[in-house]
Amino acid sequence: MNILATINWGFVGLLVIAIGLLVASPFIVAFFRATRSIAYTSTDEFRLRNTNMWTEAHHTKDGGSHQMMRLNDGVFVFVSIGVTTAKVFVTPDITDASRYKEMKEFTLPNGLLRLDWSQEKRHAEDLKILERVRRTIAWPNSADELAHSLVAMDSNLPLDDEKSVGQ
């Protein structure tokens, strides 16, 4: 009798798969750890624990957006885009709203027209404004450097050479 005919090939296939998974398991574990760490570096918690890393832009339902960054001296910068203005705040403690200090207020180019825009259109405009404010602020090491860079700015916030979304 042929020995190959008596082998149950299902068990052999299962054995090959088990050995393959055993050999590949370190690579699978490394892959999942890498994806988890990449996902963690995108969180606000990670970005605010490290200096000079902006959080992702957060949008409110009725309009407006905000972003935060931690400076080297431990102070946080908070950029808030409202309907008609953009404001830059600093605070030593992000959990205590009474400690936020307004550093600069900018008039937005489209003002009250933004109230009639769709949510998507406002958010697109907010992202442009946040980008402009971030480029203007640059990478200060302290609240004093931030104040110095903001003093030099005009209170009207142009969107550079680009046309704004609403025009």
Is residue 2's pLDDT more than 80? Answer: no
For helices 119-137 and 143-151, angle between their N-to-C axes, nearest 10 degrees = 110
Q: What angle is formed at CA 98 by the lines to CA 96 and CA 99, rounded to 5 degrees?
A: 75
With bands split at pLDDT 50, 70 and 90, how would you rate the model's confidence at 138?
Answer: confident
Is residue 4's pLDDT more than 70? Answer: no
pLDDT of res. 166: 40
Mean pLDDT, range 141-165, rounded to an integer: 71
Mean pLDDT, range 130-138, rounded to an integer: 87
Give the mean pLDDT of the chain.
84
Taking the C-alpha atoms of residue 44 and residue 56, their distance in angstroms, rounded to an integer, is 7
